[in-house]
Structure 1
Amino acid sequence: MAAAMSRCRLWSCAGLVSGGLLALQVSAAALPPPAYQWATRGTPVPPPVLYALALQESGARVRGRLVPWPWTLNVAGQSYRFADRRSACGALLQALRTVSAKQVDAGLGQINLGWNGEHFTHPCEALDPYRNLTVATALLLKHKSPNNNWTTAAGRYHRPAGGAPAKRYRQAFARHLTRLTRPNLQGMKTP
């Protein structure tokens, strides 16, 4: 399975610089992109929080910029990025035949299909960017309490049990969030 997936990794797939990629390129003034604003509408989740979460979960370097990549899978601890949804869906279905769904994360928010698969009518629905972000928003809210901040909630989103992995995640998430929310006074590109 790994061999088949590696052939379709982001870095080697044809068509990477096609229109789909251009849709992901946004100016610093437009961050976070409209999909993140749409997914958080009517909730207390600030769009930059969801965008920082997606950067941490599925971020890929494209043309020197870190962007969330919608067709990202993590199968048994190994990340795979695909050029399009169809390729990612095929690999996702193959992965689910090979390993436990609890070892498969999908999409922008890397939703675990074993623990949270009930949020989707079909496994490949997790690769729909809007649906994935909506589920990620709901899961993030589930981990937010009046006694914690968004960084703590993000750590619990990644690893509800806490510990060192959640701490590392919180630190990385906080770096993304800080870059997104600090004033961009020198005209530098936001990642």
Structure 2
Amino acid sequence: MAASVVRAVLVSTLICSAAPAQSGEVPPPAYQSIAIPEGVPSEVLYAIALQESGTRVRGRTIPWPWTLNVAGTGYRFATRNDACRALQIAIVSVGPARVDVGLGQTNMRANGHRYTEPCEGLDPHKNLRVTAQILAEQKAIAGSWIAAAGRYHRPAGGAPAARYRRAFTKHLSRVTGINLKTETP
């Protein structure tokens, strides 16, 4: 009972306005165990990962841990070692500002200091922890999780952040089972 009350309170803080939808889905255990200590609802962390690294597997969109975005082009690798080699080449080739890594697609220039070495960004647990920390920081500034998601993508805001909020909100609606409306800050 207490867990359902806590979930209801957390989910209610996500909503600007909502209408009923179909049932949601429970984020995988790693998302729950990482999000909660960082003060982030696991549904928010999972929705960010779906937005950032989601790929279709057997007809379903799931986050993919060995994902890179290099100068605007996404790449998914079968193994962490393959992704690590590509990450090292990408950082040298295009610079860390144009490389995003892992489940949360953390930018290597802005957030590389959060990892002991670049390929640590491909460790799913470490990447999710960094992603959750960034989200918590942005929530403290933005006031809501949807606005924080927009700032996660683009702290400066504007049209790119608004587009991101809309896409993120679709994933969050899927996960929570609540038909959420995108906020307009």
Normalising TM by the smaller chain, what interval?
Answer: 0.7 to 0.9
Cα distance per residue 1:74-126 (max 9 Å; x no partner): 00000000011010000000111101100000000001001110000110000
Runs in 1 of length 4+ with deviation above 4 angstroms?
Answer: none
Cα deviation 1:145-177 (Å, max 9, x = unaligned): 376210100000000010101000000101111
2:150 is matched with which residue: 151, 155, 159? 155
Q: Distance in 1 between matches of 2:162 and 2:99?
A: 22
Aligned-partner Cα distance in 2 for 1:52–1:37: 12
Match of 1:135 among 130, 147, 158: 130
Q: How does 1:74-113 map to 2 (within 5 A)?
A: 74-113=69-108
RMSD over aligned CA atoms reads: 1.5
Query: Match for 1:95: what amino acid?
Result: A
1:44 Cα deviation from its structure 2 partner:
2.1
Letter of the 1:130 counterpart:
H
Counterpart AA for 1:135 = V
Where does residue 45 of structure 2 map in the other structure? Answer: 50
In structure 2, which of residues 26, 35, 60 is the aligned counterpart of residue 31 of structure 1? 26
Matched, 1:172 2:167: yes
What is the CA–CA distance in structure 2 between the aligned matches of 1:87 and 1:44, rounded to whole Å?
33
1:39-77 deviations in whole A, cap 9, x for unaligned? 113232100000000000000011110000000000000
State the alpha-carbon separation in 2 of the partners of residues 170 and 43 from structure 1.
21
Identical aligned residues as a percent: 57
TM-score w.r.t. structure 1 length? 0.78
Q: Give the secondary-structure state (helix, strand or coil) at the position aligned to 1:143.
A: helix
Supply the AA of the counterpart residue of 2:60. Answer: R
For structure 2, the 5+ residue unaligned runs are 1-22, 179-185
SS at match of 2:111: helix
Letter of the aligned partner of 1:87 in structure 2?
D
The answer to whether the 8 A contact 2:65-2:102 is kept is: yes
Compare relative contact order (CA 8 Å, sep 6+) and give the higher one, 1 or 2: 2
- For structure 1, the residue ranges without an aligned partner over 5 or more in a row are 1-27, 184-191
- Aligned positions, number: 156
Q: Distance in 2 between matches of 1:89 and 1:43?
A: 26
Distance 1:59 1:147 in 2: 25
